[in-house]
Structure 1
Amino acid sequence: MSGTTAFTSVPIVDISGLRSQDRAERERVAAEIGRAARDVGFLYISGTGIDESLFDRLLEATKAFFALPVEEKMRTYIGLSRCHRGYVPVGEEGMETGPPDFKEAFDTALDLPEDDPDYVAGNPMLGPNAWPDLPGFATAVTAYYGAVLEVGQQLLWAFAVALGEDPDVFSRHASKTPSQLRLVHYPYNPDATDGLGIGAHTDYECFTLLKPTAPGLEVMNGEGEWIDVPPVDGTLVVNIGDLLELWTNGAFVATSHRVRRVREERYSFPLFFNVDYDTEVKPLPQFATSDGAQRPTLRAGEHLFAQTAQTFAYLRNRIDSGDLVLPEDALALGQFGQQALHEVGHGG
């Protein structure tokens, strides 16, 4: 089965060729990205063209926010938002049956106006960001978000070409996406003893573009072994998410990953690149099976929201109280990725 190789390291792909005027060069890079997506599900990308100063300003703004007193950060508590934006305190996020994740975060996405029709209609993932009263914070976050989103559009083209599809097969669905940029802070933890910062999971969108400041990230290979993915200067980490696994019927695998607890303070900046909320995702015709067996169709935004609602305490509380009802076809957590394949293969 594709995507289950016993890799021991994550490849680095220079994507500067995706901006070349030469179609053959763009296709060469796309093919390299496609190989990494099939065999590993994770890759580093260099040559993104993102100005390093954008990240420097983002990191500076993020450190300033997380240094604020808790009561000040809670003014933008995510539970006050109607579209899942704002501060995520330690203990808010985690799997229902396990310990809460040892981290705090600030969640942002496409910053839409208050009169946006989707927001007015009650869409749970589209709307305005919840900005703290911190000079320069919104500007720094928005600038970085825009730059990484542009790289994501390039990758969306590359994935389509690598699969032999119409180059626009995915990007035609990416005009107003609920793509989230998370600012994540792992506090200094002198007592860290090989515990988990984030439990094993896959990402709910198409793919993720990640910039971490310290080690801790690990990815599962086809043998069920955990492989270290340390920061590499000048790169972003890219990993395949649930929707590309579904679109390719498993040819690309949403590789399971986790964060080990490390003593040092750590910041992490994942941008979860999604397609438009109402996009119907199902295996492309070339990946349909001869026996007609096919994974169920998902709506991109509903899948994101249903998975999110199962991992955030404020949303689980709304479900428990009856104020929030998940879509009828919502999947339980852990249905994608190497871990799911590994557990199925072992009768789990």
Structure 2
Amino acid sequence: MSNLCIPTVDLSPFHNEGDEDGKNAVKQIIGEACSEYGFFQVVNHCVPLNLMNRVLELSRMFFEYPKEEKLKYGPGPGSGVPLPAGYNRQPEHSADKNEYLLMFPPGSGFNVYPNDPPEFREVLEEIFSHFAKMGLLLESILNECLGLPPNFLKEYNHDRSCDFMVALRYFPATETENNGLSEHEDGNCITFLFQDNVGGLEVLKDGKWIPVPPTEGTIVVNVGDVIQVLSNNKFKSSTHRVVRQQESRHSLAFFYNLVENKWVEPLPQFTKEIGQPPRYKGFLFKEYQQLRMRNKTHPPSRPEDVIHITHYAISTQGRENNVK
């Protein structure tokens, strides 16, 4: 196991007027972290600690319900949910061993869960609001780190109706199996996550797995495939996994997402304008989502057949032909 650790960033300068030096220092750390690790952690993020703890407490209570009761929690008829929302458990034959509750934002038209536990729903909606605000802040910081025109990413990704949040429980490891979530990359823009004190999250860097130990009040942030493609690999969507421990692990993940009909391709600021060939061909985000969902619903028999963002990668020869 590597002795490396992902950087921790104090966001307080962005909540204090006039601290431009502090903001610039934060942006430098985040820019380097996104290039080197694709991951970093944040403190002083303005998400209340008591709210984070309450979410985890209610999550534990929910996952202790009998299976028949948990299965009642899902979208109502005709809700139009584009992902497997509500309660789900990974199939027995799956390599991943977890169960989860997936929610869409209040007012999106997708958050129709007639059987939700009232307090749990209220708390999740409250923390959803905090994460949405944090997403706007981190998106603006990434925008500056990438040297893009002011508000470029905000205008490109202005629709928040497809953001979603997932409460997860990973089952305890067994003598023969400790995989909780297979190694993967996130397909969205930015992911926020906080975890209980059990641990198990690991990030791959230079062929070594770096543990991300849980720290109270800290939120883990990583960039997803969309940012990697837009930046033409300047920022990294890193491979990560969850290794099961001796007891159940609980976490909450928020996915700052992209609308389905958005076109994704390397931006000219990282290709034509600097004389670099594009590393990916353009694609409709909905198409990529469908391929990723097929990985889960119909897992390929060979690991090498799992679809990643490399599905859209342009070969070296192709990149040379794209340089004008």
| TM category, shorter | 0.7 to 0.9
Report matched runs for 1:257-336 at 5 Å. 257-288=240-271, 290=275, 292-311=277-296, 313=297, 316=298, 333-335=307-309
Distance in 2, matches of 1:153 and 1:54, equals 20
Q: In the alignment, is residue 15 of structure 1 matched against residue 11 of structure 2?
A: yes
Rate the CA distance shift 1:294–1:25 in 2: closer, same or farther, 3 A.
same
Give yes or no for contact 1:109–1:180 (8 Å, CA) kept in 2. Answer: yes
Aligned match for 2:127, one of 127, 144, 147: 144
**Whole-angstrom distance in 1 between the partners of 2:176 and 2:205:** 23
Amino acid at match of 1:299: L
3-state SS in 2 of match to 1:48: coil
Query: Displacement of 1:210 after TM fit?
Result: 0.6
The correspondence for 2:103, drawn from 108, 113, 120, is 108
Q: Which deviates the most, 133-142 or 196-205?
A: 133-142
CA contact (8 A) 1:205 1:304 kept: no
Distance 1:49 1:194, change over 3 A: same
Report the alpha carbon displacement of residue 336 of structure 1 after superposing the two structures with TM. Answer: 5.1
Deviation string, structure 1 residues 76-130 (Cα, Å, up to 9, x no partner): 35798741210111327xxxxx84310100111223365xxxxxxxxxxxx2343
In structure 2, distance between residues paired with 1:276 and 1:17: 31
**Cα contact 1:201–1:256 (8 A) shared by 2:** yes
Given that 2:189 and 2:227 are in contact with CA atoms closer than 8 Å, whether structure 1 keeps it comes out as yes
**Amino acid paired to 2:179:** L
Match of 1:60 among 54, 57, 60: 57
Would the alpha carbon gap of residues 113 and 274 (structure 1) be closer, same or farther in structure 2, given more than 3 Å must change?
closer
Amino acid at match of 1:188: P
Trace 1:169-208 onto structure 2 (pairs within 5 A).
169-172=152-155, 173-189=157-173, 191-193=174-176, 195-208=178-191
CA RMSD of aligned residues (A): 2.7
Off by >6 Å, runs of 4+ in structure 1: 78-81
Distance 1:113 1:40 in 2: 33
Tell me: CA distance 1:147–1:302, structure 2 relative to 1, closer, same or farther (3 Å).
farther
Task: Say if 1:25 and 1:156 are closer, same or farther in 2 by CA, change over 3 A.
Answer: same
Instruction: Please tell me the residue identity of whatever aligns with 2:99.
Output: E
> Which residue pairs with 2:238 in the alignment?
255
CA distance in 2, matches of 1:332, 1:167: 37
Contact 1:112–1:129 (Cα < 8 Å) also in 2 = no
- Paired with 2:165 and 2:244, the residues of 1 have a C-alpha distance of 22
Unaligned segments of structure 2, at least 5 residues = 300-304, 312-324
SS of residue paired to 2:137: helix
Measure, in 1, the Cα distance between the counterparts of 2:179 and 2:171: 13
Q: Conserved in 1, the CA contact under 8 Å of 2:224 and 2:237?
A: yes
**Partner Cα distance (2:23, 2:126) in 1:** 26
Residue type at the aligned position of 1:181: M
Count of aligned pairs: 297
CA distance in 2, matches of 1:307, 1:34: 27
Please tell me whether the aligned partners of residues 108 and 129 of structure 1 are also in contact (alpha carbons under 8 angstroms). no
1:244 is matched with which residue?
Answer: 227
Deviation at 1:153, TM superposition (A): 0.9
Identity of aligned residues (%): 26
On the 8 A contact 1:194/1:260 being kept in 2, the answer is: no
Aligned to 1:168: 151
- The answer for unaligned runs of 5 or more in structure 1 is 1-5, 93-97, 115-126, 318-330, 338-348
1:248-285, Cα deviation, whole Å (9 max, x unpaired) = 11111100001112111110111111133333221121
Which of 28, 37, 48 is the equivalent residue of 1:40? 37
* Kept after mapping to 2: 8 A contact 1:58/1:140: yes
Query: Deviation at 1:163?
Result: 1.0
SS in 1 for 2:41: strand
